[in-house]
Structure formats: structure tokens, C-alpha cells
Structure 1
Amino acid sequence: MKRAYFFLGCIFFLIGALSAQDKIVKLKIIETSDIHGNYYPYDFILRHEAEGSLARVYALVQKEREVYKDNLLLLDNGDILQGQPCAYYYNYIDTVSPHLAAETLNFMGYSTGNMGNHDVETGRAVFDRWADDCKFPVLGANIIDTTTGKTHFKPYEVLERDGVKIVVLGMITPAIPVWLSENLWSGLRFDDMEETARKWMKIIREQEKPDLVIGIFHAGQDALLMGGKYRENASVEVARNVPGFDIVLMGHDHARELKKIKNIAGDSVLIMDPASKGIVVANADVTLKLRDGKVIDKQIHGALTETKDYGVSEDFIKHFAPQFDAVQDFVSKKIGCFTETISTRPAYFGSSAFIDLIHTLQLEITGAEISLSAPLSYDTEISKGDVFVSDMFNLYKYENMLYTMKLSGKEVKDALEMSYDLWTNRMKSPDDHLLLLRKTRREGANDRASFQNFSFNFDSAAGIIYTVDVTKPSREKVTIISMADGTPFSMDKMYRVALNSYRGNGGGELLTKGAGISQDELKDRILFSTDKDLRYYLMQYIEKKGVIEPHALGQWKFIPEEWTVPAAKRDYEYLFGKVEK
């Protein structure tokens, strides 16, 4: 009997020891952001294989799921509905089939999505349809329905894995009204990120009692005030000032980031940003130790993982082959012919055929007196010869509307002054740079790696004759000589100005900070807006004309030319390697 009791005691001891043993749970968190229509490893615009893509991301995810199974959480951080023509096709052409962006994310097994500003840009009919097609929640804690005061999308999602409760809170940059016309987001408002995070963190802590909190924010890390009232790129501020986040996943600024910061409570927060197009993913390993169901230790490590090393998922390619073929047919349609090759490269150094073609089309479509436009792609070209639908995505990158606005002569000049301040260096010797360039290139931000500022804010004008003296100080570089037809230009006269809706709504702040027009006054200056995006009208125009003879209008130049011409050659070689013949 004593031996029996001894053995029973040993068994009960072992059972007690096992029950008291700590439990280890390992999670894998993978974020994609700013995919911009790059679902396939193919560029439908340039007609060749592309880096990144969801097909490459899925190959990586399939490999990681062999280890982590359901403990892998796949999250998307917005700007998935704009960019490559395959997004445009399912936004506006085939509106009956399930949206390809939703279908691909469903197929890959995403846990949550998040809204980006370029998703809003597609308009409510498109982004609401896409969100409905997604079999996971699309988040937006600071996107508010103005009628009900409630969030238009789910503010956060609760995910449970292996006894661990994870909460994902999603937010978007609130600066949408600075970029997009209200008809695209009517009935909604976009609240401040930090205020919203404080509100929902309190609710999450009290009601959900999470073990891990992830913020997924479609906003970058370099905070600034836009339009006088919108805190843009406030992700790091939120991570620092609102205790409770373990991981903050960023997007929007197309710049890779991986770091840890201390919040105001002294806790560590992992910050990650995978830039764009699925070339890398943000990849976090989380190890939690639980005792009696409670987390007693948490280890979080992050990495930015290249997708190129994982190849392309054949399952993905096979499954979405019919949609690939439909998009290929769409972009292959011929719409006209160009007699010359045009490139954005010369646009940074003076009047150029590429930008002046857009100016010419904007003036002819609107009947305006002056046109403002910028290079929307950092480095692109359209070859002479037959022009196809695919080329239109090179000619005009974004789905902006075309506005006609009333601006005074002085406001036009002041907007240009700010543009050239963003664009050009102040030359103090012939050996200086002409352009305002970064000292080091920013990794993962190839669309502006060499410029200090975004090239899509480098507006030039047509309809007026002017010079830009790069030896002059800020706000004193532009001299407007006359209208293009030789008639006088007046600072006091109100002009009809053609420009895109991004600029007309305050994007880049050339009209607000530059021209001094208040954010609220901008909409009263709009005389006319197209109801479709500018690319649609450009396609119509080219198709109607048949043959386009692009050429530089020669209506503006940098001076003094004995300095700027050699400097332009040097800067061209710095940016692009060699001068075009």
C-alpha cells in the first residue's frame, strides 16, 4: 500500500508540475503596404517582369505558414486600389466581377486590411465595393460617418491564437481633404490619429484586455501639419504618446523603416514600414510566455524581408490567370501615335515635351488661360510610335480630376515660387547643384530618392512666359514676362487656371502655404471639375487626334544660363547616369 501511495503521489506531483509549466506561444506578423496594384510580378505599364508583387509575397507567406500555421497573421496597410492598370480595370471597367484586390487578399488569407489615401481616391462606390468583397475586416478607426458619428469601417479587430488575444487597430492619415475632392468621400470625415488612438486604446484595454496590441497606420513617420489643421504622418507620434502599442506598422511614405522607440510610459514599441509594391514585407516574430493563461514575458523582434528570395507563387499565378488576361487585353488597346519619344527626365531642367503635352491637353480640355502641372512619375518615358492604354498610366500616374480654378496673377506667381523653392537649389557659384538634392539617397524611396522633396509637387506653368533665377533667394526666383500670346500679365487680374484636383484641393500646399489661399476657401475657387479622372480625358483626346506631335513649348527657363546649363548637365548625370543623346 505504501508503494502504491508513493506511485500515486508521484503521478499527482507530475500532473501538478505539468499544469504549472509555462506555455510558449510564437506568432509571426507580416505586413504589406502600398501595393499600388502590384498583384502580379508583371508591370502592365512597362510590359515587363516587375519586382515585388502579391504573388511574391504569397510565396514567402506559404513558406512561413509551414512553420507558423494559423499563428501567422497577414495584414495589409492600404493603397492597394491604385497604381497598376489591374487595379484601375477592376475599379472602373469591370465593376461586376468581384474586385481583384479583394480576391487576391482573400486567397492569401489576410487577417485584416486598412484604408489608404489612394483607396479613398477611387471614390466611395469603389472602395466600399472592395471592402464588401473582402472576407476580412477593413479597418479605419478615424474614418467617421458624419450622419451617425460612428466609424465607417471597423475600428479594430480581435484575433485569438493559442490562448493569446491580439488586437489590431487601424487608422489612416487624416489629411485626405487636402488632396481629394469631397465628392470622393462625401459623408465621411477623417479624425486626428492621436486623439483617435487615445479613445480606442482606452476601450481596447478595458473591454478586450489584450495580450498584444498592433497599430496599423496608413501614415509615415515624419509628422507635419497640412492645410493648417491635419496632422500628417503621425505614426511615430502616436506610438510614442499613446501607451499600449507593442508594434506599430506604418505605410504611406514609401520609405523602409525598422526601429524600436520608447513610449512615454517607458515601454518599447517596434516600428516597421515595408515601403511599397511588395518588394519587402515587414516581418515580426513575437514570443510570449504564459503562466496560468496570463502573459508573463513578451519578446518582439522585427525584420524587413526581401520577397525576391522566395520566388513567385505558382498557385497564385494559376488561380488569377483569367484576370491577368483580361487586364492584358485592356492595356493592349491602341489609342494613337506619338511622333517623338517623351520622358520626364528633361522636365526637371526646363520646358519639356512630356510636361508640356499635359499642359497643352489641360488647356485645350478646359479652355483655361494658364495650366499648372508637375512630373507625377519620378522617371518614366513613352516611346515614339503606337501608343496604347498602358502608356496612359505612364503619362498620368494618378486618378486625379481636372479642375479649372480662378487664381489671381499674384497667386499663380506665389504658387510657382513655392514650387521652385521645393525644386531648386539657390546657386551661389557655378559649381553648385541646380536642383535641391539629398546628400544621401533614401533606401526604398526610389520615387524621390535623390530629391529633397517630392517631384509631383514641382509645378511648372504653361500659358505664360517666365524665367526662374536660381541665384535669387526664396520667393524671388520667378519673373513672369507676359502671357504666352505676348499680351501683358497682371498680378491683380483673376485668371482661369487648369490644374489637377490634388493641387486644387491643397495637395503639396502650393495654393495654401504658397499662394496664401486658406484651405476652406479653395473649394470656392473651383469653377469646373471633370466627373472622371484626367487620364480618361487624356485617352479620349489622344484617340480623337490620332497622331500627337509632342514638343517643348519653351515658355520658361532657368537663368543665368551660363550657370544653369552646365549645372543641369551635371545634375542630370547625378540623377540618371548619362545625358540623353
Structure 2
Amino acid sequence: MKEEHATMRIVILETSDVHGYMMPYSYVDGSSINQGLSVISSLINEHRQHSEEVLLIDNGDFLQGSPLTYHQAKVDQSRPTTVIECMNAMNYDAVVPGNHEFNFGKSYLEKAFTASSFPWLSANVLSEETGEPLFGTPYRIWEWDNGVRLAVLGLTTHYVPNWEHPNHLEGITFTNPIVAAKQWVPYLREQEQVDVVIVSYHGGFERDLVSGEPTESLTGENLGYALCEEVSGIDVLLSGHQHRVISGEEVAGVCVVQPGSEGQFVGKVTLSLQKVEHKWIVNHKQSEIVSCESFVADPIVSELTTPAENNLQQWLDQPIGFVEGDNMRILNPFQARMTEHPFIEWIQRVQMEISGAEISCTALFDDLAPGFDSIITMRDIMINYKYPNTLRVLRLEGRDIKAALERSAQYFHLNDSGDIEVSSAFLYPKTQHFNYDMWEGLNYTINVSKAHGERIVNLEREGMPILADKQYVVVMNNYRASGGGEYSMFKDKPIVKEISVDMVEILADYIRDKGTIVSTVNDNWHVISGA
């Protein structure tokens, strides 16, 4: 007798790179914005009401990135992180640790892990001592009464040691995610007899999803495209890390999705399964992006978040100092990267004064950084300096400085009218304003009309040319010092000094100590469009 075909529908909802954003308002001005975990919770609840089988997975970078997460990690550690409390209340089925989960050190990481009511999945983050997955299990399997078995395998970008402070990674090993996937995907198919394999990878795509052409230097930071092409047996790839919004695409037959950042969107994958000859097969899969725009905050998550947010708001609004002279407000971020701005010069001078270095480099991280008004609060510092960076002083040769400046000079492009604009390479597939550095302690000019590698002219220090084989002492953040942002010329250079204090603390303490900081600018560098 011929078996009647049975069917099943499964919905996978993905969050990624939420970065601790909880409530639907801006930390800059308090304006309403429909994003964050409290809003996502309402979106999730609606899907659970209308779909029988819904799995909720977070793809990483949930513990760091907002003023709230900084405050709880650095200022008030009296309770488990609010982010974890809310994710518990939202009934997440599993999470994958991202690179930023390691930013606040092992103790904080363990505290968050212990407080979680859901498993943390990563097949390639291992205990150095045992060689086993650091968080216990690399995958989770769901089985339904009809016999369908679905697995989610977690993977984390193995580039973490290139960015993170070594103390935060003591006893932890990161292996290549493709190697790990080639081990575990066949195991899930053959040994665990699963019908569906979902890979949740905290990493993005190194190639254009349609053409397959490289979209970034193939450093290994992002290997999503290679995972799809080189590892057979994957049905769906949940991705992240790049903060891109991707849906409706397939790579080598693998359905892919990526839901942006800061809780603005949720990735949704709908799977249709059919039972054929005693075996369940995926006969259709579709990815889409669901916006949080039309949802309001879930009162349960809001109530959990409110005490921590109230403490945070009081702390953020504390005045800690003043600006003398023209204020350091950034009105035009592009112009602040074209012509030296007093706020950037101040950051540089703090880095040089604290470290004793003769040269400094830093970036204006994004277009939302507002600079300072005449009164400075903790909110101003947190908004302007959004990453938990520390400082590292390197001994570099002149050729390294020149190479780094040429890398930064690629940020600019001449359009058909001869006007300077931001190069598309710094805007797609991911906005990378943070990878354009400005320098203090040097004089230089960027001539955008020249070819890449030849744009830096008039490179001097104290009236003397920078010599290729002469050594110089330079301070920068730990991300850049490790080669992050394709600054390979810094990687493995001699370290003169490590300053382990977080930059937010350094800047706040500096302002408190001075009381008033002076707005100055020395115009030591210029960007021009021709001779």
C-alpha cells in the first residue's frame, strides 16, 4: 500500500548583532526608534501565535555594544546581565557566541553563560585543555512527534584572536569553522540521523552572493560563502557579524539570511518538509527579513529592563567636564574626515599623553558620533567611543606608517565630477568608516587623484621626512594594533606598552582630572583632489 505523503512547516527566526540594545529609544537624544530586544520580543510572540513550530536563534554579539552593556560590565555588576535575563524571558532556543562576547573578559563571559537558560553553540571555540567545545555542545537537535529531526550547529569567526586582548582568551582555542563544519555536518547527517541541518555562523560573506567575486580581502574573518560551497549537507546558513541585511538568496543551494544589527530586523527562514518513502526531505526553503518598525515593546521585557535602564540614565547624564573655546560638535562627519576636527585631535592628544607615544592614530567610528558640546557627560563619551578598546603602543618603521596611511587613503574616491567622496569599498558590503584612520604627530597630505599606494605625499615629522627604515613609537587601539581593518603592517610588531584600561574610562578620567578641556586643531594633515 502506497504511503500517504505527510508535510510539515518549520520557521526559524534569527537575531544577530543586537549588541545589547534593549529599549526602543535613542541613547543620543531619547527619540523613539522601533528596535531592540523589547520590540523583537513582540515580533517573536506574534510569529509563535501564528506558526506551530518556531525556533528562535541568536547568532552572536549580544553582550556588548550599547551603553547599557558597558555600564553593567564595567560599572555595576551587581546582577546577571539584563540582556541574558531578557533573552531567557523570550525563550531563546539557542545562541552562538560572537567575537564581542569575549570583550569583557572570561569572568564576565562565564557569568553570562551560567545565567543563560539556553545553550551556547560553537563547534570551533574549544577549551585549550580538553580540546572539547568550550560551551559544552556544538549543536542542538529538535525532534518532533512525527519523527522530523532538525539540528542547529554553531560556528564563530575564528579571527577573534586577531582582535581580542590575549588575557580574555586564555585557555581558549579558535579553529577554522570550515574544518569544524566538515567534521560535524556529516556527523549530524550520518550519526544523529537528522533531516535538516541549520548552521548558525557568527561571520559573514567574503564574496558577492551572485557573482562569487571577492568583496573583501580573504583574511578568513568571513567565510560564509566558502561554508556553503565547500561543506555539503547544509540546508540553511544563518549569518551575521557584517551587520548586513540579506535575504532571498541561495549559495550553492544553501538558503542564507542576515538580519542587520541593533535589533532593527529579524531574519526568517521558512522550511517546508515532506515525507517520502519513510524519509523527511526539505522540498522548499525561503529566507526573508522582517522589520521591527510596526511593533511596540513587549511589556514583560520592558519591565525586566527598566531598573537597569534607570540606573544607566542617571549615570549617563552626569556632567563630568567642560569644553573651552569653540565646542567640539561634529556637524558633518564626512568633513571631519576630510579636514582635521578638534574632537579627533583631542582623542589623539589623550592617547599620546596617556601612553607617552610621539605619534597617534584613531578613527571617527561612525556617522552617529556627535562630538562634544560645551558640557560633557558620560553619555557623550559612550556615544562617541562605542567600542571597548584598550590602547597599545607599537614600535614601527617608517615604511609601516606609510603603508598604513596608504590603506587609510583608500577611503576616498574621485567621482566623475572630480569631487571627493567615500569609496564604495568602505560602504559595501559593510560600512567601514572605522577603518579610516587620522594621524597626529605627523604632517601629511592625501592626494586622492593619485593611484592607490601613491597617495601619501609630504609625509614628515617635525619638519623632517619619515624615513622608511627609521623606528617610531605609535599609539593606537588594540583592534588596529592587531591588524584589524586590513592593517596587516601592524600585526606582530614589537609592543612597547599595553594600556589595559578601557578607552571610555581613560577619556572620562582625563576629563574629570582636567575639569575643562581646550578645543584646538593644528591642521597637520590635508586631503586634496589634485596637485
Same fold, judged at TM 0.5 (above): yes
Q: Give the Cα–Cα distance (whole angstroms) in 2 for the partners of residues 330 and 160 of structure 1.
A: 47
Partner of 1:122: 104
Residue 148 in 1 paired to residue 148 in 2? Answer: no
Deviation of 1:147 (Å) = 1.9
Q: Which deviates more from structure 2 when the two are superposed, residues 409-418 or residues 489-498?
A: 489-498
Partner of 1:507: 484
Q: Which deviates more from structure 2 when the two are superposed, residues 153-162 or residues 363-372?
A: 153-162
Partner of 2:211: none
Partner of 2:89: 107
Equivalent pairs counted in the alignment come to 519
Deviation of 1:441 (Å) = 7.2
* Contact 1:240/1:262 (8 A) holds in 2: yes
- Pairs within 5 Å for 1:276-287: 276-287=261-272
Q: Give the Cα–Cα distance (whole angstroms) in 2 for the partners of residues 329 and 405 of structure 1.
A: 38
Q: Give the Cα–Cα distance (whole angstroms) in 2 for the partners of residues 227 and 474 of structure 1.
A: 15
* Contact 1:225/1:232 (8 A) holds in 2: no
Partner of 2:443: 465
1:32 aligns with one of 7, 15, 19 = 15
Residue 269 in 1 paired to residue 254 in 2? Answer: yes
Deviation of 1:507 (Å) = 0.6
Residue 54 in 1 paired to residue 43 in 2? Answer: no
Deviation of 1:94 (Å) = 2.2
Q: Give the Cα–Cα distance (whole angstroms) in 2 for the partners of residues 178 and 375 of structure 1.
A: 21
Q: Give the Cα–Cα distance (whole angstroms) in 2 for the partners of residues 188 and 398 of structure 1.
A: 22
3-state DSSP of counterpart to 2:413: coil
3-state DSSP of counterpart to 1:29: strand
Deviation of 1:549 (Å) = 2.3
Q: Give the Cα–Cα distance (whole angstroms) in 2 for the partners of residues 184 and 269 of structure 1.
A: 34
Partner of 2:116: 134
TM-score, with normalisation over the residues of structure 2?
Answer: 0.91
Q: Give the Cα–Cα distance (whole angstroms) in 2 for the partners of residues 241 and 148 of structure 1.
A: 28
User: What letter corresponds to residue 254 of structure 2 in structure 1?
Assistant: V
Partner of 2:156: 172
Distance change in 2, residues 1:313/1:214 (3 Å): same
3-state DSSP of counterpart to 1:404: strand
Distance change in 2, residues 1:151/1:161 (3 Å): same
User: What letter corresponds to residue 509 of structure 1 in structure 2?
Assistant: E
2:242 aligns with one of 253, 256, 269 = 253
3-state DSSP of counterpart to 1:60: helix
User: What letter corresponds to residue 182 of structure 2 in structure 1?
Assistant: R
3-state DSSP of counterpart to 1:303: strand
- Pairs within 5 Å for 1:172-251: 172-223=156-207, 230-251=219-240
User: What letter corresponds to residue 130 of structure 1 in structure 2?
Assistant: A
Q: Give the Cα–Cα distance (whole angstroms) in 1 for the partners of residues 307 and 181 of structure 2.
A: 42
Larger Rg: 1
Q: Give the Cα–Cα distance (whole angstroms) in 1 for the partners of residues 522 and 156 of structure 2.
A: 40
Matched-pair identity in %: 28
Q: Give the Cα–Cα distance (whole angstroms) in 2 for the partners of residues 127 and 480 of structure 1.
A: 47
Partner of 2:419: 433
- Pairs within 5 Å for 1:315-464: 315-339=300-324, 340-343=327-330, 344-421=333-410, 423-425=411-413, 431-438=417-424, 448=431, 454-464=432-442
Partner of 1:539: 508
* Contact 2:156/2:202 (8 A) holds in 1: yes
3-state DSSP of counterpart to 1:157: strand
* Contact 1:280/1:307 (8 A) holds in 2: yes
Q: Give the Cα–Cα distance (whole angstroms) in 1 for the partners of residues 60 and 322 of structure 2.
A: 36
Partner of 2:497: 528
- Unaligned regions of 5+ residues in structure 1, if any? 1-15, 449-453, 565-581
Distance change in 2, residues 1:103/1:196 (3 Å): same
User: What letter corresponds to residue 175 of structure 2 in structure 1?
Assistant: D
Deviation of 1:508 (Å) = 1.4
3-state DSSP of counterpart to 1:482: strand
Residue deviations 1:88-112 (CA, integer Å, cap 9, x gap): 1222222230111211110101000
2:460 aligns with one of 482, 491, 501 = 482
Distance change in 2, residues 1:192/1:461 (3 Å): same
TM-score, with normalisation over the residues of structure 1?
Answer: 0.84
3-state DSSP of counterpart to 1:109: coil
Residue deviations 1:301-337 (CA, integer Å, cap 9, x gap): 2211111112221222123221221222222222112
Q: Give the Cα–Cα distance (whole angstroms) in 2 for the partners of residues 472 and 329 of structure 1.
A: 50
Deviation of 1:458 (Å) = 0.7
Distance change in 2, residues 1:219/1:296 (3 Å): closer
Residue 159 in 1 paired to residue 146 in 2? Answer: no
- Unaligned regions of 5+ residues in structure 2, if any? 208-213
* Contact 2:225/2:251 (8 A) holds in 1: no
User: What letter corresponds to residue 98 of structure 2 in structure 1?
Assistant: G
